[in-house]
Structure 1
Amino acid sequence: MASATTDQPLRTTPLRVWAGGRLHDDPEQAVVAVTDHGLVVGDGVFEALKVTAAGPFALRRHLERLDRSAASLGLPPADHGVIRDAVAQLLEGQQVELGKIRITYTAGRGPLGSGAAYGPQTLVVALDAAEAPAPSTVVVTAPWTRNEHGALAGVKSTSYAENVRVLAHATERGASEGLMLNTAGHLCEGTGSNVFVVLDGRVVTPPLAAGALAGITRDLVLEWTDVEERDLTLEEALGADEVFLTSSLRDVQPVHRWDDTTFGDHPVTDAVARTFAERSAADLEP
């Protein structure tokens, strides 16, 4: 694809897809086999990261987590060079104020069942527009638990039907996120976010042993601010002074209502959000 020139303004494309080793101007042309194990049984992993006019954020960390998730499913590491080249092709000539890059990596072709895939692995990289997060949000407690001892605990797998169901439950109740407890009754995570609470001025978040995904934004908040990791009961969390969510597209987002509990001012959350905004703007690969 030719680079944009000064007499040809940059164009914004809602959805662009790289698959099968090449860029597809028409996303409908990008296909995978009906026997792909990512489709048949969810045998795959993925990453979703924010992209702005400055470029993709924390791509290295996302690729490293992609490999950790792949290893959990017995898949070989993805080719980071190929993915980076795909990202560059997707972004070439595009004017992206706020977007999302999704990297999907599956076991490839396999049987119509849970037996081992034949391969080779499938790689799809897509660029889409994204909406800025609301200043604050509403969450609900999910009626289902997260199994912190399961084979997919902490894995960003394409087996996402459970999260789809929880998020639908939250949406039906006017919330943007459903928060799950684990089998021990401790707070775990949201469908696509990590959760933090502020207790007497101290920021606390569930440990990864509770079953939560090691979110990239979560990791950076832990590195850049003072956070305690420990188990939290639902009662303790609902009694917090402040609650906030983190994710690659939410960044640091205050919660103003959780079930029937409302939260007012959030000075500690605001301070964490400022630190994250400043540090992330200063370095695209922290």
Structure 2
Amino acid sequence: MSLVIWAEGRMVGAGEAAMSAVDHGITVGDGVFETCTVLDGQAFALTRHLARLARSADGLGLEAPDEQKVRDGVAAVLQESVRAGGAFDGRLRITVTAGVGPLGSGRVEGAQTVVVAAQDSVMAPASRAVRSPWPRNERSAVAGLKTTSYAENVVALAHAKDQGADETILPNTVGDLCEGTGSNVFVERDGELVTPRLDSGALAGITRELLLEWGAEAGLPVRAARAGELPFTVLDEVSAGAAQLVLTSSGRNVQPVTWLDGVDVAVGDASRATRELFEKLCRERLDP
């Protein structure tokens, strides 16, 4: 299936102009977005994603996105995608920008721009990761917000790919484990999976959130870290085989890391169990 795009109420081609050249989302990255997993032609956890979209907009000082307009765009894209190629697994992206604005950082209040796109894709069963030489600023004005200002992540991910990885793991400025460029991180130690606290600067990932909820429901040892429990140096334990690593996101679900900084690393039992649980429940509970 080719890329299917809906922009401001109409279907557009991948190479067709769909936004103003002075849309603030283009000129200064003034916008928010969500990426949903698509399962059998339907968006997974859409309600949670739309709630986070609204939280990110509020954090940027944008008006709350028109939820019905966004849902209409999602429905149009998924219907066209299924019509063109049948039910599919893939990804759907929702982008909301501040709309047409000045060339500088100042914002003019007005109509927002909404774009929705979908494409089929296959999730890899495992990940190869490296440590980032750059930290995430947990004190940033946009810490924890899913914004279209993604240049830091683009540079960090390109650095990882140059080393043969598909993700890079970032510390924060005080040396704690934080997140990947587009994923949350869980460390398996002593039989339990522990993820950095949100005050580390990490994004409140939907997959992270569901894994914590579903893991607790199933009696699996999954929890958020205590203060100071996960320094960035915990990755030394992973490299040494004393701990294991898992990434979570809408593009990965629950994905064990099998290679870190050029060293093959094992997958832990808790990591396997939570991956199996998530793969089962995400298809049984479409909008949890």
Count of residues paired in the alignment:
272
1:161-188 CA-to-partner distances (Å, cap 9, x unmatched) read: 0000000000000001011100000010
> Counterparts of 2:120 and 2:231 in 1: how far apart (Å)?
37
User: Cα RMSD between the aligned structures?
Assistant: 1.4
Q: Which residue of 2 aligns with 1:206?
A: 196
Single out whichever of 211-220 and 237-246 deviates more from structure 2: 237-246
> Counterparts of 1:285 and 1:265 in 2: how far apart (Å)?
29
Residues 24, 100 of structure 2: 8 Å contact kept = yes
Q: Which residue of 2 aligns with 1:21?
A: 9
With over 3 angstroms needed to count, the CA separation of the structure-2 counterparts of 1:262 and 1:233, relative to structure 1, is: farther
Q: Which residue of 1 aligns with 2:218?
A: none
Superposed, 1:38-187 pairs within 5 Å as 38-92=25-79, 93-94=83-84, 95-133=86-124, 135-187=125-177
Match status 1:275 vs 2:277: yes
Stretches of structure 1 that go unaligned for 5 or more consecutive residues are: 1-11
Residues 242, 263 of structure 1: 8 Å contact kept = yes
1:116 positional shift: 1.5
Single out whichever of 98-107 and 251-260 deviates more from structure 2: 251-260
Residues 19, 30 of structure 1: 8 Å contact kept = no
Identity %: 47
> Counterparts of 1:91 and 1:124 in 2: how far apart (Å)?
13
1:77 positional shift: 1.2
1:175-203 CA-to-partner distances (Å, cap 9, x unmatched) read: 01011100000010000000101111111
1:265 positional shift: 3.8
With over 3 angstroms needed to count, the CA separation of the structure-2 counterparts of 1:30 and 1:284, relative to structure 1, is: farther
Q: What's the TM-score, normalizing by structure 2?
A: 0.90
What secondary structure sits across from 1:272 in the alignment?
helix
What secondary structure sits across from 1:29 in the alignment?
coil
1:41 positional shift: 0.6
1:43-80 CA-to-partner distances (Å, cap 9, x unmatched) read: 10001111121511001111000000000111111122
> Counterparts of 1:23 and 1:178 in 2: how far apart (Å)?
35
Q: Which residue of 2 aligns with 1:218?
A: 208
> Counterparts of 1:260 and 1:171 in 2: how far apart (Å)?
12
Q: Which residue of 2 aligns with 1:3?
A: none
1:96 positional shift: 3.8
Q: Which residue of 1 aligns with 2:224?
A: 229
Q: Which residue of 2 aligns with 1:239?
A: 237
Stretches of structure 2 that go unaligned for 5 or more consecutive residues are: 216-220
Residue type of the alignment partner of 1:227: V
1:114-149 CA-to-partner distances (Å, cap 9, x unmatched) read: 11234211111111222321x222111111110001
What secondary structure sits across from 2:233 in the alignment?
helix
